[in-house]
Structure 1
Amino acid sequence: MRVVAAMSGGVDSAVAAARMLEAGHEVVGVHLALSRSAATLRESARGCCTIEDAGDARRVADRLGIPFYVWDMAQRFAQDVVEDFVAEYAAGRTPNPCLRCNEKIKFAALLDKALALGFDAVATGHYAQIREVPDPSASGGLRRELHRAVDGAKDQSYVLGVLDTDQLARSFFPLGDTTKPDIRAEAAAQGFSVAKKPDSHDICFIADGDTRGWLARRLGEQPGDVVDTDGQVLGEHGGAFGYTVGQRRGLGLKVPPADGSKRYVVGTDTATNTVVVGPQELLGVDHIVGDHARWCGSAPEGVIEVGAQVRAHGQEHPATAWPEGEQVHVALQERIRGVAPGQSVVLYDGTRVVGSATIVRADRAVPAWS
């Protein structure tokens, strides 16, 4: 099988490429250039896609003896990931750019280009597993399923929940059955210079990790009020776009609560540029509504029992879910806190990923200000 190995320049993608080669595939390494002004050196462990990373990927490809190319996807990344990220925050939502990157770049743009060039599949260094199970209705009598990785601390199935059946059929995740320490040991045994290279972290295009500051530079300072659920002004902020539901730190409140309790962001209103804070109990939700549903297989019929996860490394919560038109409803068995519009809810059946949706509404005790 002819396979494009997506090589970021990190240890995971290096070992993934090596494993695909060892499995007998014809492998070509591809590094995605996602910035037209890539930094010469990595600024921190958060950064990625630098000239240094491209060089690291090339050195691994040379050691493996495979062809290596750099594909320019900077314009596509800027439009589909970065601009979408800014627009979502400007609208008062909290997006996950890694899901969008996987959907739009790595498993749409990259896979589509690979197939157009005559390749059969794409392999990446994500920590997840694909399992083949018998299915008489599927091509070849087997159906591919997406499952959690063995290494729970590194599991990335959440950010892959946007993949559909056709994309899963053309994808390989060679690392899903291995822990991160073993991957580093394998890289060292292969003689890869990246064996001890630090991991990059979300959000890759905000190298210093200051999301609020990065957004302020893009959207400009927009001073407004921080109010309680009764509308009393408690402080000021530099832009409602910099706050998300469940946030407790950095609120800049000037009026302390009478009972001394902690206060959290319970809502934002970008129309009035207002951040609303309240007690922790107002964060609890029992019901989530999502749109932009993506199913890793056939869409479910009727109500199904699932585990629902709303953060990349968050807890899975028992729930029931059902599709309704273009939306997905998730009824949680126990109330959870801090669910924000724009986040993704990923649904699981055991370790298997059922699908995902973008949260548009989370129902809770409705405060008077709404």
Structure 2
Amino acid sequence: MQINRISNVNFTAGYDIHTHTGHWWTSSSQKTNGAIEISSGNYAYLKDYSPIDTLEIANKHLTNPNDKIEKMFVSNLDCMVRNHPDMTKSSITSNGTPFLSDEIKGNLDLYNKYKSNPNYVLYATCQPSFGNPQNIEKVLKIAPDKFKGLKFHPKQLDLKADAPSYDGYLELARKYKLPCLFHSQVNLDYTEGIEKVVQDFSKFDKSDPEFIYNLAKRHPTVPIIMAHTGAGGKLAHQKAIDILLKSIDNKDAKLYCDISWIDFENDLPVKTPTTIINLIKKLKDKNALDRVLFGTDAPLGCYGGNSKISPEDAYKITIENLKTSIRENFGSESDSIINKIFCENAHKLFFENSGSIRKSSKCNKAIAIILSGIITLGAVFSANSFIKKQNNITSASQENVVTTK
């Protein structure tokens, strides 16, 4: 999939705009060290994904060079992880300190890990619940060439996506022309024995697409990507898609979506991704095919060894199934559509349309080391206070244990 019409680009494959490193809760049928019991015979533990080279895994079983991934956009899970969704036990390390990393340390840890690898592009993860946009601006000025977007997880930080605390971060995104990736999730109701979208506003997920849309309308020039397009299954995806299309019709927000976890069954990609194909058709009709991006949420779920197939095969199946379906449905247009979803849309959004960040004159190696080591008593206290607040949150869908970030 050689792209020649984009200037100053040398790649033959795609961008995965949604990946991670760090620690996350993982389900287990055995009580391993540090595991907590969710229900009888079901456990969960914090798995360290940081040793995984996600890019190497993604490309290992892709035999066609045109299918390979050139760049991965990564955020630090340690800036998002909190209580297990089904428990009141806090996410703490073995020595009893909060596991949640603050905005400076967590993002600089990410930078130090990937600063010399040009194939990884970074998100600065934001914590509007108790953080400060000034922290993120410091990080951006330390590494202006690596951080190309901001990342938010309203569900994990227990703050509705349209809360005023997000506005300062979105203003920062506007200032530096940075896209924002938001975890999005629609809660479903099974009380009557059938799957329905929750209608009670008070029971919406903190990451509901409606909340994200509300925020996006307050910042209409800032690109906001709804990760997972609502998550949770077809009805959830459809709600997010409807909101995306509404924003395009109304021209009142710059909403985008990534396709991670769309058209999955039993934690594996289905052979025929009908929801994605229908999404492509609807966006084509509105001349808005630039609003959809390829992302996986790797290395979580099947992309990190938490499934009955290898992560390498999971990645291979995801790409091959989607491209095959696009070719079957769009004929002579298929190559152009594949290029847009896997390459061009992300490149335009994160590189061609992005702004420049002036590196701080104080940003030298010594400053970076000092800031990277900042974990003041105040920061620890803030994180502890936040985690205590989370202890009254005891329910969430099983999907979020392993996947939706």
TM-score w.r.t. the length of structure 1 is: 0.22
User: Could you say which structure has the higher strand fraction?
Assistant: 1
Indicate the structure whose relative CO is greater, using CA pairs within 8 Å and at least 6 residues apart: 2
User: Could you say which structure has the higher helix fraction?
Assistant: 2
